[in-house]
Amino acid sequence: MSYFNDPDGDNTLDGVGDLLNVNVVHPGSKWSDAKASGTVTPGEPVIEIASGASPDSTLVLRRAEGSDTAAMVLLAERVVDIPDPNNGPNSLSPNAVKNQDIPAGEWVMRLYDGTFDLTLVSPDTYKVGEKVGWDLNGARPSGKSSAHEGAWAKDAKADVKSVFKVVRWREINSTTHEGILTVQFIGRAG
């Protein structure tokens, strides 16, 4: 299944709600040995917390806050990959499986660097080379998790600034300005 296919099968898109929140375009360093300290939506920024915060001394991740810096930010992704053996009456599409919120205590894949397609992005227009950060109150595109607020946005609106540099912007809906933002980590040192 292509990342860009419409889950309904008609291959037309009018928004990004059903697309993956984060898709790895060019992989960098990644680890899956940490657990969520609270609910985390794939595609959100996370911060490592000292492992003593967990009863079993496992490294713990929390959602980024306004006082965090780009050098601290990692990108969250679900550890469960497709195909997932969820084939009951309420089976989910592959994208829906990967976009499910990660509850507290579950494993999280954390991405340290690389290039990614993001759709958990505030509707806007973006230009190549612009800096993007995390807006704690950023509007999410229709159909994305509403477990909490926040979205990737231009630095002018971001609370955690200069995490990524825009590599490409593909607008899916010219009315709502939803699209796929391809970005590269710039905030982390090495």
| Mean of all residue pLDDT scores within the chain | 86
Q: And the tokens for 179?
A: 């699209």
Q: 12: buried, middle or exposed (CB in 10 Å: 19+, 13-18, 0-12)?
A: exposed
Tell whether the model's pLDDT for residue 165 goes beyond 50: yes
Confidence class for position 1, pLDDT limits 50, 70, 90: very low
Average pLDDT estimate for 8-17: 74
Q: What is the mean pLDDT of residues 157-167?
A: 96
> What residues does each domain of the chain span?
22-185
User: How far is it, in rounded angstroms, from Cα 111 to Cα 24?
Assistant: 9
The two tokens of residue 180 are 């796929």
Phi and psi angles of residue 101, each rounded to the nearest 5 degrees, phi first: -60, 145
Of the ranges 3-7, 27-31, 154-158, the best mean pLDDT one: 154-158
Higher pLDDT, 23 or 51: 23
* Predicted pLDDT at 111: 93
Q: Has residue 168 got a pLDDT over 90?
A: yes
Express each pLDDT in 41-97 by its tens digit.
999 999 998 766 556 657 899 999 999 999 999 999 998 766 656 555 567 778 888
Tell me the per-residue pLDDT of 105-156, one tens digit each, with 9 for 90 and over. Answer: 999 999 999 999 999 999 999 999 999 999 999 999 999 998 889 999 999 9
Q: Which residues contact 118 (CB under 8 A, 6 or more apart)?
A: 21, 22, 43, 152, 164, 180, 181, 182, 183
As a whole number of angstroms, the distance between CA 150 and CA 163 comes to: 14
Average pLDDT over residues 7-23: 80
164-171: average pLDDT: 97
Comparing 123 with 7, the larger pLDDT belongs to 123
More confident residue, 182 or 56: 182
